[in-house]
Amino acid sequence: MKTRILTPGASLVLAATLVTALAACGGGGDEAEGSGGDGGGGTLTYWASNQGASLDNDMEILTPEIEKFEEQTGIQVDVEVVPWSDLTNNTLAAAVSGQGPDVINIGNTNAVTFQSTGAFHEFTDEDFEQLGGKDRFVDSALGTAGAEGQPPTSIPLYSQVYALYYNKQMFADAGLEPPATWEDLVSSAQALTDPDAGRYGIVIPGGTVNVSMHMAFILSEQDGGSAFDDDGKPTFTSDGMVAGVKRYVDLLSEYHVVNPSVAQFTEGPQAAGEFARGNAAMYMAQTASMNVLRENGMTPDQYGIVPIPAPQGGDQIGSFVAGTNISIFENTDNLDAALQFVEFMTSDEEQEILNEAYTSLPVVEGLQPTFEAEPEQLETWATIVADYAKPLPLVPEIQAFQANVGEAVVSLIAQAASGGAVSEDDVRAALEEAQQKMGATS
C-alpha cells in the first residue's frame, strides 16, 4: 500500500495540474484513463477525505483497514488524504479532466453537483445487491447519494450532524445552564468572555468556506430563510438569509465574544483545538469533532452537547444531514475492484471500526454509534438527527452555493476581525454579490 498526504500546497499544485490537463485533452473524452488503472485491476487509487484530527491521524486510522482489505482481496490500494479545503476543487478538476483516482470520498452536500458532471459511476441495482441492498442504508443518509429520481453516484460512508459543544466546568463555575435559545447562547458567551485571560465565549473557524456555508444555511433556516426557491433558483438576499448570516457574524462584530484570530482558521480542527485548550467556552461543530477533541486531550465528560439553539420564536433547525459519501470515477479501469472496496468500507465491521475512530454516525441500519461518549450525548445526537436536521437542497448548484456564500461569510468575518463594523446592508451586499456569481439576480 502506498500512502500520501496531500498538504494544501501540494493539493493546489495537483488541482492546477489537472486543470492544465483539461486544456490539453479538450475536456476529457473517451481516451481518458483513470489514474489507478493498470489494466489488471490489481491496484486502486483512493482519495480519502480528512475526517480525523489531522492528516496524519487519518493515515493512522486508515492504514490498518486498507491493509486488511489488501490481504483479503489481493487488491493494492494507494491512498492519498486530501484536506477538505482542497478536496472539492480537486474533485471537480479531476471530473472534467478525466485524470483522477478510482475511488474518492466526497462531502455529501456536493453529491448532486458532482453527479451533474457525468464523471461518476452510477450505482445499479446489481451494485446495490453486492453492497447488501438499498434498504441496508439509513434513509436520510442514502437520500444524499444523488438527485432524486436518478441513479445514485455515491454511497453513504460516514454520517454527521451539527451540535453546540459547551465546556461543562466553565458553565458550572459561572452558574450557567446550557443555552436553549440563541439569546441564551449570546448572553452566556458574553458572561464567559475574558480577553485579558485569553478566553472567549465561543470559537468559530472563521476562514473555513464550507463551515461558513453550513452556518449560513442552519442559522438562516432558523430565521425562516431559504437558499433556493421551489424552482431551484438562489434566494440568498431573502430576509431570513440575511438575518441568519448577520447573527453569525455578530458574534464577532457586535458582541465580541469570538477571538478575532479565528479569521485565520481555515480548517475546523483549528477551532476544535481552541475549545479543547480552554480558550473558548462553546463551539459549533459536527459529530466528528469528538475525535478531534479527544486527540487534543479533551474527554467527553468535560463537555456537553445541545442542539444549536434558534432565536426565540425561530424554527428549530440545528443541523443539516451532513456526512461523507464514497464515489467511483466512471473512467476507472478497475470497476470490479472499486466496487469491492466500497463494499468493504460500508461493511458492518468497517462501519463500526471507522465510525468509532472518527466519532461519526453509522450509515447502515441496525448499527449503533460505537464511539466513546456520555450516554446523554448519544441521546442528543440521536435527537438532533431525528428532530433538528434538515437536508440541504438537492440541486446541482449546491457546490456553487457553498463556494460563493461560504466565501461571502468568510469575507464578512475578516471585516469584523479587522475591527470593522458589519451592518445588515453589508451582509445583504455580500450575499447579493454571491447570488450574482450564481448567474442570478435578486
Q: Give the confidence band of 386 by pLDDT, cuts at 50, 70, 90.
A: confident
8 A C-beta contact, residue 88 and residue 402 = yes
pLDDT for position 7: 43
> Residue holding cell 466526497?
106
Question: How far does CA 407 lie from the centroid of its chain?
Answer: 15
User: pLDDT by residue (tens digit) across 75-88?
Assistant: 999 999 999 889 98
pLDDT for position 394: 82
Question: How far does CA 10 lie from the centroid of its chain?
Answer: 21
pLDDT for position 23: 34
pLDDT for position 5: 52
pLDDT cut 90: percent of the chain above it: 78
pLDDT cut 70: percent of the chain above it: 90
pLDDT for position 29: 33
Short-list 125, 96, 100, 114, CA closest to 153? 114
Judged against a pLDDT cut of 50, whether residue 175 lies above it is answered with yes
Question: Same topology for domains 3-159+321-389 and 162-319+394-437, yes or no?
Answer: yes
Judged against a pLDDT cut of 60, whether residue 286 lies above it is answered with yes
Going by DSSP bridges, is the β-strand pair 3-5/76-82 parallel, antiparallel, or unpaired?
parallel
pLDDT for position 230: 87
* 140-154, 185-199, 241-255, 300-314: the lowest-pLDDT one: 140-154
pLDDT for position 21: 36
8 A C-beta contact, residue 427 and residue 243 = no
User: pLDDT by residue (tens digit) across 388-429?
Assistant: 998 888 888 988 999 999 999 999 999 999 999 999 999 999
8 A C-beta contact, residue 309 and residue 182 = yes
Q: Give the confidence band of 19 by pLDDT, cuts at 50, 70, 90.
A: very low
Q: Give the confidence band of 28 by pLDDT, cuts at 50, 70, 90.
A: very low
Rounded mean pLDDT of the chain? Answer: 90
Q: Which fold has domain 162-319+394-437?
A: D-Maltodextrin-Binding Protein; domain 2 (3.40.190)
User: pLDDT by residue (tens digit) across 124-138?
Assistant: 999 999 999 999 999
Angle in degrees, 0-180, between the axes of helices 424-437 and 398-417, rounded to the nearest 10: 150
Going by DSSP bridges, is the β-strand pair 76-82/303-306 parallel, antiparallel, or unpaired?
unpaired
pLDDT for position 85: 83
Judged against a pLDDT cut of 90, whether residue 433 lies above it is answered with yes
* 25-34, 95-104, 109-118, 197-206: the lowest-pLDDT one: 25-34
Short-list 164, 321, 192, 318, CA closest to 244? 318
Write the CB contacts of 286 (distance below 8 Å, at least 6 apart in sequence): 160, 161, 162, 163, 268, 322
Query: pTM score > 0.85 for this model?
Result: no
Q: What are the sequence ranges of the domains in the chain?
A: 3-159+321-389, 162-319+394-437
Q: Give the confidence band of 34 by pLDDT, cuts at 50, 70, 90.
A: very low
- Per-residue H/E/C for the chain: CCEEECCHHHHHHHHHHHHHHHHHHCCCCCCCCCCCCCCCCCEEEEEEECCCCCHHHHHHHHHHHHHHHHHHHCCEEEEEEECHHHHHHHHHHHHHHCCCCCEEEEEHHHHHHHHCCCCECCCCHHHHHHHCCHHHECHHHHCCCCCCCCCCCCEEEEEECEEEEEEHHHHHHCCCCCCCCHHHHHHHHHHHCEHHHCEECCECCCCCHHHHHHHHHHHHHHCCCCCECCCCCECCCCHHHHHHHHHHHHHHHCCCCCCHHHHHCCCHHHHHHHHHCCCECEEEEECCHHHHHHHCCCCHHHEEEECCCCCCCCCCCCEECEEEEEEEECCCCCHHHHHHHHHHHCCHHHHHHHHHHHCCECCECCCCCCCCCCHHHHHHHHHHHHHHEECCCCCCCHHHHHHHHHHHHHHHHHHHHCCCCCCHHHHHHHHHHHHHHCCCCC
Judged against a pLDDT cut of 60, whether residue 343 lies above it is answered with yes
Judged against a pLDDT cut of 50, whether residue 147 lies above it is answered with yes
Q: Give the confidence band of 4 by pLDDT, cuts at 50, 70, 90.
A: low
Judged against a pLDDT cut of 80, whether residue 8 lies above it is answered with no
8 A C-beta contact, residue 381 and residue 134 = no
CATH pick for 3-159+321-389 out of 3.40.190.10, 3.20.20.100, 3.40.228.10, 1.20.140.10 = 3.40.190.10
**What's the CA angle centered on 310, arms 305 and 311, to 5 degrees?**
135
pLDDT for position 371: 87
Write the CB contacts of 117 (distance below 8 Å, at least 6 apart in sequence): 92, 95, 96
| Cell digits of residue 431 | 450575499
pLDDT for position 202: 99
pLDDT for position 12: 42
pLDDT for position 14: 44
